[in-house]
Amino acid sequence: MFEAKVKSDVLKEVVDVISTLVDEAKFNAGKDALVVKAVDPAHVAMVDLSLDRSAFDGYKADDVELGLDMDKMKEVLKLSRAGELLHLVHEEDKNRLVVQVGNITRRMSLVDTAGMSDPKVPNLNLPAKVRVRTDELRQGIRASESVSDHIALIATPDGFEIVSEGDTDSVSLKLPKDMLDELACKEKVRSLFPLDYFSNMVKAISTAPTVTMNMGNDYPVKMEFEIAGGKGQVRYLLAPRIESE
Amino acid sequence: MFEAKVKSDVLKEVVDVISTLVDEAKFNAGKDALVVKAVDPAHVAMVDLSLDRSAFDGYKADDVELGLDMDKMKEVLKLSRAGELLHLVHEEDKNRLVVQVGNITRRMSLVDTAGMSDPKVPNLNLPAKVRVRTDELRQGIRASESVSDHIALIATPDGFEIVSEGDTDSVSLKLPKDMLDELACKEKVRSLFPLDYFSNMVKAISTAPTVTMNMGNDYPVKMEFEIAGGKGQVRYLLAPRIESE
Amino acid sequence: MFEAKVKSDVLKEVVDVISTLVDEAKFNAGKDALVVKAVDPAHVAMVDLSLDRSAFDGYKADDVELGLDMDKMKEVLKLSRAGELLHLVHEEDKNRLVVQVGNITRRMSLVDTAGMSDPKVPNLNLPAKVRVRTDELRQGIRASESVSDHIALIATPDGFEIVSEGDTDSVSLKLPKDMLDELACKEKVRSLFPLDYFSNMVKAISTAPTVTMNMGNDYPVKMEFEIAGGKGQVRYLLAPRIESE
């Protein structure tokens, strides 16, 4: 069984983070937390989200798997004001989720989870670690968009850099050590990423003021940030694009 | 002859209500009130609007028929600020309406009213009557839009309900008796309506906080509300869609 | 050499004024002022802009010609907040402009100026002169847009008028003498202009509260206004459309 009450802005954070990568996802409602793991259809990016039961205004679950359509969840969220409570009940016999917002009741058929895999989050050895202000990442992305559809993320012992190179123009965002919340980097590392994925992931960060980025050389980037005021955690993984010389 | 001064927001209410159903309409400027009756091209909906001369800042008319193009009226309204006065003069010899807003003068040719019928508002025996907050109707429509292109309006002795049913999902807005401004209903009645018409009609209600709905079983709905702070009245009629079983 | 610091809103005014007519332009950075002259591809309109060195927060130049792409300049401007300083450096050896905004560095290849002519601003004898509030011009344009794609600008000893005539409708904005900041007109003059050009020019005026219009009979209009709080001057010239009777 699964029954929960949750503020619309908390649920919105979850849906925004997941819907960036997939249209449908398996929500695992465990006793103590809601967990969602998903890989995007192109297998370029992965998300691992967990939301503690304390992030809810009411939570009862005994290890249920719910296949949810992200667009339908967004539709319901649009009916609520920030801070308004949503009441979610899983009707197992009818294979649906019933969502109540104010005087509205939405009955939503669940998606079959049989075909959805449980992605294993790989154990990566990422030598560099940087904690950056989300605002700065956004600014770097905005600057890159007109120049190229790829960006390089670079960490050095002195700072963090986003570089985008086009045919005639280039753009870079350089954050020296003193503008970073954290920097652990012994040797320069650099990896290239598809801008659209990176951009969408960063756009999905709605409240976290900083993001921790774990990086290597031509290696995936792991981005970690908080949701629900610290009562939830998100890990995004994004595969690099190997530069052809 | 026809000459009037009217605040732009009052005229905007009139134009919004009429343009929801028709592109052109016959405005009957009588001695004591402006009256507009119109049926939409598909003969699904009807409007009957009257605006008392006291809603104007100046009004002189002796039973003139003016064929007005709603888009042109909207263009002129966009040139004015809320509360600004529009000066309307019918130049009979040139078959045009001259509208002044501030330093702008727009001369507008009138539409031929010969082909426009005078719809008779049918005398319907509608057993149930509900007065609902306009906000609630809007919320119910918003919730329904993603589920189906029809909505059922239901009145019972206990309350009022909007229900929309799709192939897999359904949504309902339930307003119990104590959330209604008025409820007169002895037996449950239910009729199905096209969502787009109903939605456009409700969107045309700009200032009225409540709407009175007269309903029957598989019967048209009559919606009544005030404009111009009570100095005008609108009646919308919408034909039901008979449910095929 | 060319190196300058400039507030983003000052540079934005310049780029808006120029990009209304051309996609690329030659910026002449002289010792005391930046000067841009350009003719639109259809040879219907011309701009002559000069921005004094005092409009900059830092300015060093020795008669350099910079071929700038207006879209790229807009991209960089979007990265800045109003009032934020942009640092511009011409790297002559690499034929590029380097723009710094906050932590962002954009390297921008310059456009070849070889094919760009130096338009001579013609010496026109325009008998009428009117100074109008920019707001009023905007309102007149807005009113005209739905009626025709041409507007007539008219000056008389009594005032200034914008008239737009369509097949069935017409619209006019009439500003009597006492609503004008300045009026010098001995005889009525009237010229017809393409609305889209006139509209785009007026939209490019962002801060100047008034515009001085020099007009003749079936003659070009010269519009003059200030930018950068009076530290810059813009002259627009727009060719008339000769009315065929």
pLDDT (tens digit, 9 = 90+) per residue, C128-178? 999 999 999 999 999 999 999 999 999 999 999 999 999 999 999 999 999
CB < 8 Å from A in window 184-243 of B = none
Which of C78, C86, C107, C110 is the mutation pick for testing A, counting most A CBs within 10 A? C107
Tell me the shortest Cα–Cα distance from B105 to chain A, in angstroms. Answer: 43
Tell me the shortest Cα–Cα distance from A78 to chain B, in angstroms. Answer: 9
Contact at CB, B136 and A103, closer than 8 angstroms: yes
Tell me the shortest Cα–Cα distance from C40 to chain A, in angstroms. Answer: 25
Domain boundaries B128-224, CATH class: alpha beta
Nearest to C79 among A143, A170, A172 (CB): A143
Q: Which amino acid is at B111?
A: V
Per-residue tokens: A190: 């650099």
Per-residue tokens: A174: 């350089």
The domain B2-109 is classified under which CATH number: 3.10.150.10, 3.40.190.10, 3.40.50.970, 3.40.50.300?
3.10.150.10
Contact at CB, A103 and B146, closer than 8 angstroms: no
Say what the pLDDT of residue B231 is: 98
Contact at CB, A139 and C72, closer than 8 angstroms: no
Cβ of residue A108 closer than 8 Å to a chain B Cβ: yes
With cut-offs at 50, 70 and 90, classify the pLDDT of residue A61. Answer: very high
Mean pLDDT by 10 residues, chain B (245 residues): 97 98 97 97 97 98 96 97 95 97 97 89 94 97 96 98 96 97 98 98 96 97 98 98 70
Residues A186-199, mean pLDDT to the nearest whole number: 97
Nearest to A108 among B139, B169, B174 (CB): B169
Nearest CA in chain A to C77: A143
The percent of chain B in helix, strand and coil, each rounded to the nearest 5, is 20, 45, 35
Chains contacting A (3 or more CB pairs within 8 Å): B, C
pLDDT (tens digit, 9 = 90+) per residue, A91-122? 999 999 999 999 999 999 999 998 888 899 89
Contact at CB, A104 and B169, closer than 8 angstroms: no
Domain range A128-238, CATH architecture = Box (3.70)
Contact at CB, C171 and B102, closer than 8 angstroms: no
Contact at CB, C142 and B78, closer than 8 angstroms: yes
pLDDT (tens digit, 9 = 90+) per residue, A138-147? 999 999 999 9
Which phi-psi region, left, alpha or beta, contains residue A163 (left: φ > 0; alpha: ψ -120 to 50)?
Answer: beta
Tell me the shortest Cα–Cα distance from C64 to chain A, in angstroms. Answer: 21
Phi/psi at A171 (5° precision): -145, 145
Q: Residue C245: is its pLDDT beyond 60?
A: no
Q: What CA–CA distances, in Å, run from B218 to A1, B154, B193?
A: 39, 10, 9
Tell me the shortest Cα–Cα distance from A158 to chain C, in angstroms. Answer: 15
Cβ of residue B123 closer than 8 Å to a chain C Cβ: no
Nearest to B104 among C139, C169, C179 (CB): C139
Provide, as residue numbers in chain C, all residues whose Cβ is less than 8 Å from the Cβ of B109. 168-169
Size of interface A-C (CB pairs under 8 A): 36
Per-residue tokens: C188: 């009525």
pLDDT (tens digit, 9 = 90+) per residue, C210-234? 999 999 999 999 999 999 999 999 9
Provide, as residue numbers in chain C, all residues whose Cβ is less than 8 Å from the Cβ of B106. 143, 147, 169-171
Chains contacting C (3 or more CB pairs within 8 Å): A, B
ipTM score of the complex? 0.91
Per-residue tokens: C239: 């060719």
Nearest CA in chain A to B174: A103
Per-residue tokens: B187: 């037996």
Nearest to B171 among A102, A104, A109 (CB): A104
Tell me the shortest Cα–Cα distance from A168 to chain C, in angstroms. Answer: 6
Rounded to the nearest angstrom, the gap between the alpha carbon of residue B235 and the centroid of all alpha carbons in its chain is 6
Nearest CA in chain C to B80: C139
Contact at CB, B172 and A102, closer than 8 angstroms: no
Say what the pLDDT of residue C209 is: 97
Provide, as residue numbers in chain A, all residues whose Cβ is less than 8 Å from the Cβ of C73. none
Tell me the shortest Cα–Cα distance from B197 to chain C, in angstroms. Answer: 27
The residues, ordered by sequence, that sit 6+ positions from C132 with a Cβ below 8 Å of its Cβ are C160, C175, C180, C181, C210, C211, C213
Q: Which amino acid is at A42?
A: A
Q: Are B136 and B153 in contact (CB under 8 A)?
A: no
CB < 8 Å from C in window 136-165 of A = 136, 139-140, 142-143, 146-147
Say what the pLDDT of residue C244 is: 62
Tell me the shortest Cα–Cα distance from B107 to chain C, in angstroms. Answer: 5
Which phi-psi region, left, alpha or beta, contains residue A24 (left: φ > 0; alpha: ψ -120 to 50)?
Answer: beta
Q: Residue C243: is its pLDDT beyond 70?
A: no
pLDDT (tens digit, 9 = 90+) per residue, C2-37? 999 999 999 999 999 999 999 999 999 999 999 999
Say what the pLDDT of residue A244 is: 62
Q: What CA–CA distances, in Å, run from A182 to A124, A129, A130, A189, A204?
A: 20, 8, 5, 16, 22
| Coil vs helix vs strand at A10 | helix
The residues, ordered by sequence, that sit 6+ positions from C241 with a Cβ below 8 Å of its Cβ are C150, C192, C193, C194
| Domain coordinates in residue numbering, chain B | 2-109, 128-224
Nearest CA in chain B to C171: B106
Nearest to B139 among A75, A79, A107 (CB): A79
Contact at CB, A79 and B169, closer than 8 angstroms: no
Provide, as residue numbers in chain B, all residues whose Cβ is less than 8 Å from the Cβ of A24. none
Q: What CA–CA distances, in Å, run from B54 to B48, B58, B59?
A: 18, 8, 8
What distance in Å separates the CA atoms of residue B155 and residue B140, rounded to the nearest whole number? 15
What distance in Å separates the CA atoms of residue B60 and residue B62, rounded to the nearest whole number? 7
| Coil vs helix vs strand at C142 | helix
Contact at CB, C78 and A142, closer than 8 angstroms: yes
Contact at CB, B79 and C142, closer than 8 angstroms: yes
Provide, as residue numbers in chain B, all residues whose Cβ is less than 8 Å from the Cβ of A81. none
Say what the pLDDT of residue C25 is: 97
Total Cβ atoms within 10 A of residue B10: 21
Residues A184-202, mean pLDDT to the nearest whole number: 98
The residues, ordered by sequence, that sit 6+ positions from C215 with a Cβ below 8 Å of its Cβ are C126, C127, C128, C129, C130, C153, C155, C189, C191, C221, C222
Contact at CB, C146 and B72, closer than 8 angstroms: yes
| Coil vs helix vs strand at B57 | coil
CB < 8 Å from B in window 67-96 of A = 72, 75, 78-79
pTM (two decimals): 0.93
pLDDT (tens digit, 9 = 90+) per residue, C61-114? 999 999 999 999 999 999 998 899 999 999 999 999 999 999 999 999 999 998
Contact at CB, C102 and A139, closer than 8 angstroms: yes
Say what the pLDDT of residue B112 is: 95
